Amino acid sequence: MPAKPQPNLLFNEYVKNIGGRKGKGVVDAIGDGATDEHIEKKTKYKMTEIRSLLNRLQDAGIVEYSRVKNMQSGWFTYTWRVNRTRATGNYMTQLRKKYEVLLRMRENLDGAQTYRCPKGCVKLPFEEAMEGAFRCPKCEGKMRTVDASAERRELEKQLGAIDTILKK
Ligand SMILES: [Zn+2]
């Protein structure tokens, strides 16, 4: 049987990326819906910290609020809810964008040889190095190709990691 998608895993990872361990604490405290005060009671975090975490989580589409005005005091009560579907969707979109960027970076690595002066004066793309007959424009030293294999390995590693997540 093929592996089933694991939205919970993705969701938790996204929450951790955005809010860290305490962000996860706030999300857990919200449960099926909670006010700031309830979150404070449950997490024992400072209210200023909770509000800042809620802001970050809201910006990322992880939580949202509804507010009710108290007719006597005129104050609003905010009730927070977790939107797992939207959060997971946002995270997938973010990962796909990052994947595209990494792919382009890999293409650039493949497409263009870079040359550098062994003394470290300059780094030039192939065309410019060739125009200078592969001599450093500053010290006349013989330019050498830059070994991009470490960079490429790092890109492959990141691409592979995202690939695994997106296939989950
Ligand atoms: Zn040089």
pLDDT along the chain (168 residues), means of 10: 64 95 97 95 97 97 94 92 96 95 89 88 91 95 89 93 85
What pLDDT, on a 0 to 100 scale, did the predictor assign at position 6?
64
What pLDDT, on a 0 to 100 scale, did the predictor assign at position 1?
46
Q: State the distance from the centre of ligand 1 to the C-alpha of 142, rounded, in angstroms.
A: 8
Burial of 109 (0-12, 13-18, 19+ CB in 10 A): middle
What pLDDT, on a 0 to 100 scale, did the predictor assign at position 45?
97
**Residue 64, C-beta contacts closer than 8 angstroms, at least 6 positions apart:** 58, 80, 81, 83
User: Would you identify the CATH topology of the domain 7-87?
Assistant: Arc Repressor Mutant, subunit A (1.10.10)
Q: Whole-structure pTM over 0.85, yes or no?
A: no
Q: State the distance from the centre of ligand 1 to the C-alpha of 104, rounded, in angstroms.
A: 29
Annotated domain spans of the chain? 7-87, 112-167
Q: Are 57 and 23 in contact (CB under 8 A)?
A: yes
- Rg (the chain; Cα; Å): 25
Q: Are 94 and 18 in contact (CB under 8 A)?
A: no
Q: Which residues surround ligand 1, an ion (CB under 5 A)?
A: 117, 119, 121, 136, 138-139, 141
What pLDDT, on a 0 to 100 scale, did the predictor assign at position 119?
94
Joined tokens for residue 141: 């030293």
What pLDDT, on a 0 to 100 scale, did the predictor assign at position 168?
66
